[in-house]
């Protein structure tokens, strides 16, 4: 059964494949089996038993022919023998079915559980990474790691390693049995093995290339369709359906060609294997005929050998297909473990300072910062904010305002300098505690599917419902509840059932419910209707009350209302004072900024520069 996942578009880098078995990778994978080692051990024993049982059939046929059909005892005895042989055969079948069922079940279950463990570990590991990691890794790629790569590892384990072991064991069992029964006939049967292996090797190599090409072209087709369905309005407005279709036709054809290659390979391989195995049978009959005639071997032995020779080729031809699965999975495993080996650079100290609730004093002491290690975004910023003080951050795009908020919640680490909350260096705070002190409301807040309450408490079950209720009341979200489905109050995926303004209000309520001593607000610039705008203004007022607040301001009304304004310019703090004081400076940067922002009135969007730094909208 083909899963959907191999039809999904992948980046070129995802299509790279591993050249051969990587033992260190396998060892690491096996370490995940430890909690299930008893089951796996049982499965291993069953596996050996099944392989051993696989030789029973032809041997019983030999017994039947030599002892019962050709035997020289009395008729009843021969018939009785035949009955017991048939009974033995049935028993062997039953045992094989039972054992391989149990073996499959134990192993598949273990595989599924290991995947679950691995997924959970991986997800926790990803969540623990610092923001710099999320800046670099697109969500799509992380999704691939967490889903299809984990599945690929399971495939590596359950259908790869296990079936290969099984095939090899079966091969070994058959070969040993043949050697034990008659070494001369055994050697004759083995004569085709080198040819069979050579054929498999050639086939494998050809198929590997062809499969890679197929995957790449499937990805291309899907990417094309996805893109063209998304941009259909443009195609239709320009009347380009025909020409785009022609282009699709080329990709479609290439895709078919790639498949035809694999068909060509398979159509030669399967019959060739069949012919080779018949060759072994013919060799046996040819050489065996004189041996049977001279009674050097019994007829039954020869028949058993013919049957063994026919069973011989299946594991070998399976092997070549299995190796192809392995290669894809190995690459997936490597990517997974690479991710697991990445350690977050920001974590709690072993002996954090114990503070339950901060008063809310903030100090930046000669802070330098760079996202990429070369371009400094902050160049020696120093300021302090008293507990309960309201401060606005103002500056042009790229001045470093957003960076300051991100550093305050320790999303990133300063490259030099210190940041203190309540006089304690952020690096000495327990990370969790620190973040409980600061609530950040960004321009375009992220909401989650699920109820309003869940979005406010962020899934904490022990959250005081009274506090939730109060936050909803004070921000005025009661009306919102009526809009939501009555069954679950779900906001829809990413809060899609709400408007931009409503989403902001929900984010305010979330911050209010958490009641932190420090509040960081990035004022939104997006346009909302006047009624919502008023509600937002009111909500901000409620939210800021009694907290130390840092606001990235875009509205004149906001900068007028704060105690102090910090003006940033190219990563430096250049001016500081109240709105009135700063405007009074004839050549002040603040004054120029206010004017420039006023000029852009009416445009809500702006040239999307490098980093999504807000503060480039309208006042």
Partner 1 sequence: MRIRRLFPYLRRHRRALAAGVVAVITGEFFTLLGPWFLRRSIDALQGRDIPAAREAALLMLAVTVVGGVGKFIMRRTMIGASRHIETELRQDFTAHALVLTPRWYDAHPVGEVMALATNDINAVRNLLGGGIMYMVQTIFTAIVAIVLMLRLSPPLTLIALAPLTVLGVVVQRGSRAVHARFSRVQESFGRLSALTQELLTGIRPIKAYAREDRAAARFDGRSGEYLQRNLSFVRIQSAMRPLVVFIAGTATVVTLFFGGRMAVAGSISVGTLVAFLAYLAQLTWPAMAMGFTINIWQRGLASLDRLGKVLDAKLEIEDHADATPWLDRRGHVVVHRLSFRYPSSSRPVLEDLSLELSAGSWTAVVGETGSGKTTLVRLLSRQWDGYEGEIEIDGIDLRRIRLADLHEGIGYAPQDGFLFNDTLRENILFGRSPADGDEEGELERLARVSRLERDRGAFPQGWDTLVGERGVTLSGGQKQRVSIARALAGDPTLLLLDDVFSSVDTETEAELLEQLRAAWSGRTVLLVTHRLLGVRQADRIVVLDGGRVVESGDHETLMRRNGVYASLFRQQAAAAELDAIQ
Rounded to whole angstroms, how far apart are CA atoms 577 and 563?
A: 8
Question: Closest by alpha carbon to 107, among 168, 157, 35?
Answer: 157
Q: Does 360 bind partner 1 (CB under 8 A)?
A: no
Among 132, 179, 223, 574, binds partner 1 (CB under 8 A): 223
Task: Identify the three-state secondary structure at position 423.
Answer: coil
Rounded to the nearest whole angstrom, what is the least distance from the CB of residue 236 to partner 1 in the complex?
6
Q: Does 65 bind partner 1 (CB under 8 A)?
A: yes
Question: Closest by alpha carbon to 446, among 500, 488, 486?
Answer: 500
b/e map of 202-213 (b: 16 or more CB within 10 Å)?
A: ebbebbbebbbb
Q: Which is nearer to partner 1, 178 or 589 (CB)?
A: 589
User: 463: which residues sit within 8 A by CB, 6+ positions away?
Assistant: 456, 457, 513
Q: Which is nearer to partner 1, 364 or 590 (CB)?
A: 590
Q: Which two tokens stand for residue 275?
A: 């012919």
Stretch that binds partner 1, among 17-25, 296-304, 415-423, 479-487 (CB under 8 A): 296-304
Rounded to the nearest whole angstrom, what is the least distance from the CB of residue 186 to partner 1 in the complex?
18
Rounded to whole angstroms, how far apart are CA atoms 321 and 159?
A: 11
Rounded to the nearest whole angstrom, what is the least distance from the CB of residue 326 to partner 1 in the complex?
20
Q: Which of residues 67-86 bind partner 1 (CB under 8 A)?
A: 68-70, 75, 78-79, 82-83, 85-86
Strand partners, 522: 552
Using CB under 8 A, count the residues that bind partner 1: 150
CB-based contact 523:468 (threshold 8 Å): no
Rounded to the nearest whole angstrom, what is the least distance from the CB of residue 35 to partner 1 in the complex?
14
CA-based angle 320:163:171, to the nearest 5? 75
Rounded to whole angstroms, how far apart are CA atoms 286 and 280?
A: 10
Q: What Rg value do the Cα atoms of the chain yield, rounded?
A: 36
Q: Which of residues 385-414 bind partner 1 (CB under 8 A)?
A: 409, 411
HSE on the CB side for 23, CA within 13 Å?
0
Among 171, 177, 210, 303, binds partner 1 (CB under 8 A): 303
Q: Which of residues 108-167 bind partner 1 (CB under 8 A)?
A: 108-109, 111-113, 115-116, 119-120, 123-124, 126-128, 131, 134, 139, 142-143, 146-147
Q: Does 296 bind partner 1 (CB under 8 A)?
A: no
Q: Does 534 bind partner 1 (CB under 8 A)?
A: no
Q: Which two tokens stand for residue 382?
A: 């120093």
Biggest CA pair distance of the chain = 126
Rounded to the nearest whole angstrom, what is the least distance from the CB of residue 366 to partner 1 in the complex?
25
Rounded to the nearest whole angstrom, what is the least distance from the CB of residue 576 to partner 1 in the complex?
21
CA distances 541 to 197, 510, 521, 562, Å, are 78, 15, 12, 11
Among 49, 302, 426, 540, binds partner 1 (CB under 8 A): 302
Stretch that binds partner 1, among 103-111, 362-370, 383-391, 476-484 (CB under 8 A): 103-111
Stretch that binds partner 1, among 58-66, 179-187, 535-543, 555-563 (CB under 8 A): 58-66
Among 33, 40, 52, 64, binds partner 1 (CB under 8 A): 64
Rounded to the nearest whole angstrom, what is the least distance from the CB of residue 395 to partner 1 in the complex?
17
Among 35, 231, 349, 485, binds partner 1 (CB under 8 A): 231
Q: Does 264 bind partner 1 (CB under 8 A)?
A: yes
Task: Identify the three-state secondary structure at position 224.
Answer: helix
Q: Does 216 bind partner 1 (CB under 8 A)?
A: no
Q: Does 531 bind partner 1 (CB under 8 A)?
A: no
The H or E element spanning position 114 is helix 75-127
Stretch that binds partner 1, among 99-107, 200-208, 330-338, 392-400 (CB under 8 A): 99-107
Among 45, 187, 201, 263, binds partner 1 (CB under 8 A): 263
Residue 603 φ then ψ, to 5°? -110, 125
Question: Closest by alpha carbon to 438, among 548, 348, 310?
Answer: 548
Task: Identify the three-state secondary structure at position 492.
Answer: coil
Among 187, 191, 195, 282, binds partner 1 (CB under 8 A): 282
**String of DSSP letters for 500-534:** HHHHHHHHHHHHHHH--SEEEEE---S---HHHHH
CB-based contact 518:436 (threshold 8 Å): no
Q: Which is nearer to partner 1, 2 or 27 (CB)?
A: 2
Q: Which is nearer to partner 1, 22 or 310 (CB)?
A: 310
CB-based contact 400:382 (threshold 8 Å): no
Q: Which is nearer to partner 1, 348 or 561 (CB)?
A: 348
Burial grade of 293 (CB within 10 A; 0-12, 13-18, 19 or more): exposed
Q: Does 355 bind partner 1 (CB under 8 A)?
A: no
Among 21, 28, 30, 89, binds partner 1 (CB under 8 A): 89
Rounded to the nearest whole angstrom, what is the least distance from the CB of residue 379 to partner 1 in the complex?
25
Q: Which of residues 569-608 bind partner 1 (CB under 8 A)?
A: 591-592, 594-596, 598-608
Q: Which of residues 433-492 bind partner 1 (CB under 8 A)?
A: 435-436, 438-440, 442, 445-449, 458-460
Q: Which is nearer to partner 1, 18 or 224 (CB)?
A: 224
Strand partners, 439: 519
Q: Helices marked H in 238-370 — which ranges?
A: 241-293, 299-341
């Amino acid at each position: 059964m083909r899963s959907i996942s191999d039809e999904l578009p992948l980046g070129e880098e995802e299509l790279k494949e591993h050249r051969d078995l990587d033992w260190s990778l396998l060892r690491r994978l096996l370490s995940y089996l430890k909690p299930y080692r008893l089951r796996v051990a049982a499965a291993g024993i069953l596996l050996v038993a099944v392989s051993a049982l696989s030789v029973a059939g032809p041997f019983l046929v030999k017994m039947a022919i030599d002892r019962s059909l050709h035997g020289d005892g009395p008729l009843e005895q021969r018939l009785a023998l035949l009955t017991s042989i048939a009974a033995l055969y049935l028993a062997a079948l039953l045992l094989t079915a039972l054992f391989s069922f149990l073996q499959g079940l134990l192993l598949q279950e273990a595989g599924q559980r290991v995947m679950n463990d691995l997924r959970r570990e991986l997800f926790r590991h990803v969540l623990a990474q610092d923001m710099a990691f999320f800046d670099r890794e697109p969500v799509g790629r992380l999704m691939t790691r967490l889903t299809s790569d984990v599945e690929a590892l399971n495939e590596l384990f359950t259908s790869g390693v296990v079936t290969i072991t099984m095939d090899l064991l079966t091969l070994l069992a058959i070969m040993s049995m043949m050697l034990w029964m008659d070494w001369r006939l055994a050697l004759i049967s083995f004569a085709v093995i080198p040819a069979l292996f050579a054929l498999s090797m050639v086939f494998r190599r050809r198929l590997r290339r062809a499969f890679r090409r197929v995957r790449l072209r499937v990805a291309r087709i899907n990417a094309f369709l996805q893109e063209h369905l998304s941009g259909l309005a443009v195609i239709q407005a320009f009347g380009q359906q025909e020409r785009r279709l022609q282009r699709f036709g080329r990709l479609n054809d290439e895709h078919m060609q790639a498949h035809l290659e694999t068909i060509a390979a398979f159509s030669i391989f399967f019959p060739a294997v069949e012919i080779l195995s018949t060759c072994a049978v013919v060799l046996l009959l040819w050489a065996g005929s004189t041996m049977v005639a001279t009674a050097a071997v019994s007829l039954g032995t020869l028949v058993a050998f013919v049957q063994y020779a026919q069973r011989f080729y299946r594991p070998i031809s399976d092997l070549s297909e299995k190796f192809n699965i392995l290669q894809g999975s190995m690459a997936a495993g490597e990517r997974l473990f690479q991710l697991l080996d990445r350690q977050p650079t920001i974590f709690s100290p072993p002996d954090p300072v114990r503070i339950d609730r901060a008063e809310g004093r903030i100090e930046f002491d000669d802070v330098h910062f760079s996202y990429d290690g070369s371009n400094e975004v902050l160049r020696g910023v120093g300021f302090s904010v008293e507990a309960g003080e309201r401060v606005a951050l103002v500056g042009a795009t790229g001045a470093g305002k957003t960076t300051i908020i991100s550093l305050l919640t320790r999303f990133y680490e300063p490259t030099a300098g210190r940041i203190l909350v309540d006089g304690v260096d952020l690096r000495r705070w327990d990370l969790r505690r620190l973040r409980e002190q600061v609530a950040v409301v960004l321009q375009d807040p992220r909401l989650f599917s699920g109820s309003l309450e869940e979005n406010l408490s962020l899934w904490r079950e022990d959250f005081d419902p009274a506090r939730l209720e109060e936050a909803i009341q004070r921000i005025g979200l009661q009306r919102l509840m009526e809009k939501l489905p009555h069954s679950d109050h779900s906001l829809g995926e990413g809060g899609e059932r709400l408007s931009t303004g409503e989403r902001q209000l929900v984010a305010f309520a979330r911050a209010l419910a958490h009641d932190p001593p420090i509040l960081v607000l990035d004022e939104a610039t997006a346009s909302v209707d006047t009624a919502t705008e008023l509600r937002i203004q009111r909500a901000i007022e409620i939210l800021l009350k009694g907290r130390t607040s840092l606001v990235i301001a875009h509205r004149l009304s906001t900068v007028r209302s704060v105690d102090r304004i910090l003006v940033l310019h190219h990563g430096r703090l250049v001016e500081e004072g109240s709105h009135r004081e700063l405007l009074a400076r004839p050549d002040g940067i603040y004054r120029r900024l206010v004017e420039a922002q006023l000029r852009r009135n009416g445009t809500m969007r702006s040239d999307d520069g490098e980093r999504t730094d807000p503060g480039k909208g309208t006042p």
